[in-house]
């Protein structure tokens, strides 16, 4: 039953991958919103540019391939603060933990926030500013569950609660990540990972900031409030398919390969819905 259910789960991910591959079109670049979801908040994954999706483990896997969080058997906690585009005053903060449940399951909670720093307020009448400043903030809360189905197969799902806002205008949404990892070989040195990220309904901005005052002449002049409607935007959905191979460099006292020192080769294909596909 476990293998049968996993087969259907893997099929669903592959079907989603094929749909996104068909939808991927560079001409749609810039049409998706919630771009903060594409920023990797963890240094090691970011340094590898997401190429290690087949082998990532622990809390960092909550961003890249949630199946990797299943390797947490006790408790893992992490906090990161990143100066994003140094000199702009933009900071990325992330905090989270994963907790093993029993022998096979793991739950996780993560929080990622992006703060733009101070931005000058400008208007049509005062394009040079002088009206004060405002801040753009975006954050997402991640709730994940991962399970070890066997010694070789791991799967997980992550639910994201998303919010973006400036004063008087905000957008809220929800998205889902799902991932699988398969590890095989005599020393578990061969790895395969498939993940679907940022799949969810459209978002749109709402709030008093979309309203404006205008003068209307109908008999006598009077002011009225006009509400501008905000078009809905898509999530930056993508599929990442990764492979990895470990080359163990040393042997133990019995002559068997030791896992203390290794060279890992990672590769991945990332199919993006709203921009060019990437080979990592």
pLDDT tens, residue by residue, 27-53:
777 788 888 899 988 888 888 888 999
Structural domain count of the chain: 1
23 has pLDDT over 50: no
Helices then strands, each counted (H, E), the chain: 3, 14
CB 221, CB 149: distance < 8 Å: no
| Mean residue pLDDT across the chain | 87
Query: Is pLDDT above 80 for 14?
Result: no
pLDDT score of 95 more than 90:
yes
Range with the poorest average pLDDT among 45-49, 69-73, 176-180: 45-49
* Residue 157 CB contacts under 8 Å (≥ 6 apart), including other chains: 66, 144, 145, 146, 176, 177, 178, 179
**What pLDDT, in 10s, does the model give residues 196-254?**
999 999 999 998 888 877 777 666 777 777 888 888 999 999 999 999 999 998 888 88
Helix (H) / strand (E) element for 11: namely: helix 2-23
Q: What is the mean pLDDT of residues 50-76?
A: 94
Predicted pLDDT of residue 229: 84
| Structural domain that includes position 92 | 2-279
High-pLDDT (> 70) share of the chain, %: 90
Q: Per-residue pLDDT tens for 104-142?
A: 999 999 999 998 888 899 988 889 888 899 999 999 999
Q: What string of H, E and C letters represents the secondary structure of 12-63?
A: HHHHHHHHHHHHCCHHHCCCECCHHHHCCCCHHHHHCCCCCCCCCCCCCHHH
Interval 16-33 mean pLDDT:
64
2: pLDDT strictly greater than 70: no
Q: What are phi and psi of 8, to 5 degrees?
A: -65, -40
- For position 230, what pLDDT does the model report? 85
């Amino acid at each position: 039953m476990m293998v049968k259910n996993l087969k259907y789960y893997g099929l669903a991910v592959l079907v989603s991958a094929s749909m996104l591959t068909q939808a991927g079109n560079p001409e749609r670049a810039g049409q998706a919103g919630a771009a903060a979801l594409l920023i990797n908040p963890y240094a090691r994954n970011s340094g590898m540019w997401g190429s290690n999706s087949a082998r990532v483990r622990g809390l960092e896997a909550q961003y890249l391939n949630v199946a990797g969080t299943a390797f947490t058997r006790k408790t893992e906690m992490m906090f990161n603060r990143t100066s994003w585009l140094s000199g702009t005053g933009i900071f990325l903060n992330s905090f989270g933990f994963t907790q093993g449940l029993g022998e096979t399951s793991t739950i996780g909670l993560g929080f990622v926030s992006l703060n733009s720093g101070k931005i000058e307020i400008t208007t049509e009448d005062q394009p040079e500013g002088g009206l004060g400043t405002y801040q753009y903030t975006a954050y997402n809360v991640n709730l994940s569950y991962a399970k070890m189905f066997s010694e070789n197969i791991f799967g997980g799902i992550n639910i994201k609660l998303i919010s973006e806002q400036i004063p008087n205008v905000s957008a809220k949404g929800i998205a889902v990540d799902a991932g699988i990892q398969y590890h095989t070989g005599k020393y578990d040195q061969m790895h395969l990972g498939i993940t679907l990220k940022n799949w969810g309904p459209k978002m749109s901005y709402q709030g008093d900031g979309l309203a404006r005052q205008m003068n209307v002449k109908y008999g006598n002049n009077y002011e009225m409030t006009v509400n501008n409607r905000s078009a809905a935007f898509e999530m930056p959905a993508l599929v990442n398919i990764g492979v990895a191979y470990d080359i163990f460099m040393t042997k133990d006292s019995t002559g068997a390969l030791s896992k203390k020192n290794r060279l890992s080769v990672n590769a991945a294909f990332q199919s993006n819905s709203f921009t060019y596909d990437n080979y990592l």
